[in-house]
Structure 1
Amino acid sequence: MLMNNLFNAFKLPESEENQYVMKCIMRVLGVADVQLDVARICIEGLGSLLSEVCKNPKNPVFNHYLFESVAILVKRASERDPSLVSVFETSLFPRLEIILSNDVTEFFPYTFQLLALLVELNRPPIPPIYMQIFEILLSPDSWKRTSNVPALVRLLQAFLQKAPNEISQGDRLTKVLGIFDTLIQSSSTSEQGFYVLNTVIESLPYDVITPYISHIWAAIFRELQKRRTVKLLKSLLIFISLFLVKHGWSNVIDTMNAVQPNIFSVILTQFWIPNLKLITGDIELKLTAVASTRLICESPVLLDPAASVSWGKMVDSIVTLLSRKEQDRVEDEGDMPDIAENVGYTATFVRLYNAGRNEEDPLPDIKDPRKFFVASLSQLCAHSPGRFPNVISENVETANQEALLQLCNTYNVALV
C-alpha cells in the first residue's frame, strides 16, 4: 500500500520527477522487508520511471535517487531471496540496453555499477548474456570517457571475481591487462588501474597469471620512472603486499629480478621502506604490515647479514606504520571537492552507495597486525639470540625503539 501510494505520487501534476518522493522510496527500500510480490511492483515502478527519464535526463538529483533505489532494492531483496535476481534482470536489462544503445551518457556510470551488482549477485557460472557484456567491456572505446572509468573498473572487478575461468580463456586476460596498462599511464586513472591488477592477483590462479608477470612489472617500473606521486607509491606497495601474501615473497623477488637484475633491492630501499608510512585504511594497513613482516622474518634476502641495514630500516617503517596515528605520519593530499546537488550533469563519476563493492580482507585469519608483527619478530629473534636487538638499536629511531618495546609489552613478548 505504501509503495503504491508513493509511486502514484508521480502521477500528480508537476510531480513526475519529484526528488523528495524518490528519496522517500529509497529510504523505505533501505529498511523494508521486501517480499516477492512487493519486489515485482517496485522494480516495475522504478523500471518505468527509468524508461521515461532516459528520454530526457534533466533532474540529476531525482535520477540519482532513482538509481540508488534500484540498487538498494536489487541488493537487499536478492540477498534475501536469490531467485529474485532473474526477476530483476528481466526488468532491468531492456532498460539498461536502451541507455547504452541510445548513448545516454549521463547514465553510463550508473548502468555499469548496476551491472556489476547483478554480476556479483549471480552464482557461477554466470549466464551467457553477461559474457556478451564482458566483450563490450574489453573494447578500448568503452574506456575513452574518463567519467566512466571507475564504474567500468567496478564491473571488471565483478567479472574477475565471478568468472575467473571464463576470463582465463582465449585472449581475454591479455585484454584485461591491456586495460590496466592504459589506466596506469594517466595520473587521474592510475589508482583504478591498480584496482584491476589487484583483483587479477586475488581472483586468478598463479599459473594463469605467470606468463604476464614480467609485463606487469615492466609497466609499473616504466611509470615509476615517469612520476612518483603518493597515489602511485601507495598503489605499488599495496600491490606488492597483496602479491606477497597470495603467492609468497620468493615469487615477488624472483619475478621482479627477472625483469631487471637486482631491481628488488632498489624497490625495497627507494620505495617500500620510505613510503610504508603513507598507507591508510584498516585493510590496507594490515595487508602491508603483514607482508612487510613476512619479508623481514622469512626471506633469506633480508635475513642475510649483509642486508642488516635494510632489515633494520624496514622494522623502523613497520613500527611507524603500526604505532603512529594516521594524521601523524601521512601528509594531507587534499581532497577532491564533493559534487554539489545543484551542479547539474557534468562528465563526472557519481558513485552509487547501494551498489558499492564489498571490500574483501585478503588476510581474514590475521586479526591484529601489531600482534602478528611482534610475535613474528620474537620468534625470529629466538632463533638467533642477540643478533637482531643490535640491528634494531643501530637502525631504528629512538622513538620507534620505545614504541616497539611498548608493543612487545602489550602482547607479552620479548626480543632476545
Structure 2
Amino acid sequence: MIQHFPPEALTAYHKQIFFLLFKRLSSSKTTKYVINLIVFFCMYAVKYSANQLVSTIDGIQAQMFGMLLEKLLITELQKVAGNVDRKIVACGITKLLCDCPEMYTGAYQKYWSPLLQALVAFFEMPVDESTLPDDHFIEVDDTPTFQTASAKLNFANSTKNDPLEAVSEPRQFLVQNLSTLGRSQPGRLPTLISNTSADCQRILQQYCAKFSVQLV
C-alpha cells in the first residue's frame, strides 16, 4: 500500500491506519502478523521518514513508539525472513537510528543502543523460527481454499518486487548512515555505540573496515 500509493493520497489516513494495525496486534499477536507489521513500519520509515513514523505512532498515544520498540522492533526483529523483507527492515531500522533525533537525542535515546545491537544481530544471526503464543489463531489468508494446479504454479513462479533496489548491501548502508550521523553530532556516536556489547562493537568495526567507512 505505502509502496504504490502517492504519499499525498494516504497522508490524511495514516493515524487511522496505524490505529487499526495496533488494534489488530492487541487482539491477536501472531508470528505472521508481527513480521508483516515490522516490515510495514520499516518501509514506512524509508518512504515517509523515521520522524513521521514516530510522530504518527505517538499521535495515537503518548510514548507509544517506546512500547513498539520494546515489544516488537528490538525483541522480534530476528523473526523476519526473506531477502527483500530483511533489506526493508535493515534500511528502516537504520533510518530510525540515524535520521530520527528522538532516537539519538530525545525521548527514545535509551533505546538507540539496544536497537543498534538488535540490528547487528539481525545481520549476523540466523532467522528466529520460533512462534508466538497467539499462533493458534488462523490467519484469514491461511484458511485452506481450493486452488488449481496452474494457480499454484503461477504463484510459485512469481518473484517479490524489491522497492529498495538502490541499496545493494544493507550493512554498508548502516555504517555509511552511522558515519553521517557521527559527523552531524560530534562526540555523540562513540558514546551511543559504547553502550552496546563488545561483540556488537567488534562487528561494527569489521563492517567499517570492509566498506572503508570511518565512524567518529
Specify the code of the residue in structure 2 equivalent to 1:278: K
Asked if the contact 2:102–2:109 (Cα under 8 Å) also holds between the matched residues in 1, the reply is no
- Taking the aligned partners of 1:306 and 1:203, their CA distance within structure 2 comes to 32
| 1:260 maps to which of 61, 65, 73 | 61
| 2:51 maps to which of 247, 250, 254 | 250
| 1:225 maps to which of 3, 26, 46 | 26
Asked if the contact 1:253–1:264 (Cα under 8 Å) also holds between the matched residues in 2, the reply is yes
| 1:403 maps to which of 203, 212, 215 | 203
Q: 1:398 to 1:228 in 2, by over 3 A?
A: farther
Q: In the alignment, what sits opposite 1:296? A: 97
- Taking the aligned partners of 1:316 and 1:365, their CA distance within structure 2 comes to 25
Specify the code of the residue in structure 1 equivalent to 2:198: T
Q: In the alignment, what sits opposite 2:176? A: 375
Q: 1:413 to 1:246 in 2, by over 3 A?
A: same
Q: 1:358 to 1:287 in 2, by over 3 A?
A: same
Q: Which runs of 4+ in 1 moved over 6 A?
A: none
Report the number of matched residues: 201
Seq. identity, %: 27
Correspondence 1:10-89 to 2 at 5 A: none
- Taking the aligned partners of 1:262 and 1:375, their CA distance within structure 2 comes to 29
Specify the code of the residue in structure 2 equivalent to 1:400: C
Asked if the contact 2:91–2:173 (Cα under 8 Å) also holds between the matched residues in 1, the reply is yes
Asked if the contact 2:66–2:108 (Cα under 8 Å) also holds between the matched residues in 1, the reply is no
Asked if the contact 1:241–1:287 (Cα under 8 Å) also holds between the matched residues in 2, the reply is yes
Q: 1:211 to 1:385 in 2, by over 3 A?
A: closer
TM-score w.r.t. length of structure 2: 0.83
Specify the code of the residue in structure 2 equivalent to 1:240: F
| 2:120 maps to which of 295, 319, 335 | 319
CA deviations on 1:212-234 (whole Å, 9 max, x unpaired) are: 32221111111221232221211
| 1:354 maps to which of 135, 140, 154 | 154
Q: In the alignment, what sits opposite 1:110? A: none
State the 1:370 CA deviation. 0.7
Asked if the contact 1:240–1:252 (Cα under 8 Å) also holds between the matched residues in 2, the reply is yes
1:240 is aligned to 2:41: yes
TM-score w.r.t. length of structure 1: 0.45
Q: 1:364 to 1:347 in 2, by over 3 A?
A: closer
RMSD: 2.1
Specify the code of the residue in structure 2 equivalent to 1:257: D
Pick 1 or 2: higher relative contact order, CA cutoff 8 A, min separation 6. Answer: 2
Asked if the contact 1:309–1:391 (Cα under 8 Å) also holds between the matched residues in 2, the reply is no
Specify the code of the residue in structure 2 equivalent to 1:331: E
Gap runs ≥5 in structure 2: 132-143
State the 1:354 CA deviation. 2.8
- Taking the aligned partners of 1:308 and 1:256, their CA distance within structure 2 comes to 17
Specify the code of the residue in structure 2 equivalent to 1:312: S
| 2:129 maps to which of 322, 325, 331 | 331
Q: In the alignment, what sits opposite 1:207? A: 8
State the 1:361 CA deviation. 0.8
| 2:185 maps to which of 374, 384, 388 | 384
Larger radius of gyration: 1
3-state DSSP class of the match of 1:415? coil
3-state DSSP class of the match of 2:129? coil
State the 1:283 CA deviation. 0.8
Gap runs ≥5 in structure 1: 1-199, 334-345
3-state DSSP class of the match of 1:202? coil
Asked if the contact 2:182–2:189 (Cα under 8 Å) also holds between the matched residues in 1, the reply is yes
State the 1:349 CA deviation. 4.4
State the 1:265 CA deviation. 2.1
